A and B are shown apart, each in its own frame.
Chain A
């Protein structure tokens, strides 16, 4: 079943923070985060494998709560380049990266 992302869209001013949530009804083995800019390929941001462990990519970090079957992506001090659609992809077991993606969160960072 597809993970649910929230919010569906967010508009930020440069320098502001935002949180994107990803929730699953199934127990998760891993959560992957990707960003896709308009007309481009999705680009890998990070993978989270262990509960409660945070990873980071520039000023973008994420957490994974296994018990709640949730992951959150934190955009800190957002930059114009952070604009795009963010997708979480989940696996319920080690399955060779056969991901089930959420519907995406559109992020627009304005000057």
Chain B
């Protein structure tokens, strides 16, 4: 069983730039959620994708956008980067919308904005 993988693991950008983070979900999982985790804090929900459609969004501005592909992998895009966007970005996959169940997290992409 393949776990959740994210890339890149670390990256450094400057303010105003754009970034794309990638996530491969666990085999058989059709739902991907993205979380932002600032240093020393709990993960904050960004949005969720189910079968290529956005299914819920947290309190993040429109410059945070995403995609889910037919193989259920996903991308998180952030435009016009700000210093406060520096964080660990976690992807989590799960099975189905109707079920309350385990989230399988990747190890994250650590973004530093200078």
B100 with A98: CB separation less than 8 A: no
Q: Which of B55-113 contact A (CB under 8 A)?
A: 55-56, 58, 90, 92, 94, 96-108
SS class, residues of chain A in contact with chain B: loop
Minimum distance in angstroms from B68 CB to a CB of chain A: 14
| Interface check A84, CB cutoff 8 A | no
| Interface check B31, CB cutoff 8 A | yes
Q: How far, in whole Å, are A47 and B98 apart by their CA atoms in the complex?
A: 15
Q: How far, in whole Å, are A87 and B100 apart by their CA atoms in the complex?
A: 17
| Interface 0/1 of A1-30, CB less than 8 Å to B | 010000000000000000000000000011
B100 with A94: CB separation less than 8 A: yes
Interface residues on chain A, size class = 20 to 34
B42 with A104: CB separation less than 8 A: yes
Which residues of chain A are near B40, meaning CB under 8 Å? 104
A97 with B105: CB separation less than 8 A: no
Interface residues on chain B, size class = 20 to 34
Q: How far, in whole Å, are A75 and B50 apart by their CA atoms in the complex?
A: 35
Q: How far, in whole Å, are A56 and B90 apart by their CA atoms in the complex?
A: 26
B107 with A96: CB separation less than 8 A: no
A47 with B107: CB separation less than 8 A: no
- Find the residue from A44, A97, A101 having the highest chain B CB count within 10 A: A97
B106 with A41: CB separation less than 8 A: yes
Residues of B within 8 A of A (CB): 4, 31, 33, 35, 40-45, 48, 50, 55-56, 58, 90, 92, 94, 96-108
Task: List 10 A-B pairs, Cβ < 8 Å.
Answer: A34-B105, A41-B90, A42-B103, A44-B102, A44-B103, A97-B99, A97-B100, A98-B45, A98-B56, A103-B41
Given contacts A2-B42, A39-B107, A42-B105, 19 further A-B contacts (CB under 8 A): A29-B100, A30-B100, A32-B103, A41-B90, A41-B107, A42-B90, A47-B100, A47-B102, A89-B42, A94-B98, A95-B56, A96-B98, A97-B99, A98-B45, A98-B56, A99-B43, A101-B44, A102-B42, A104-B42
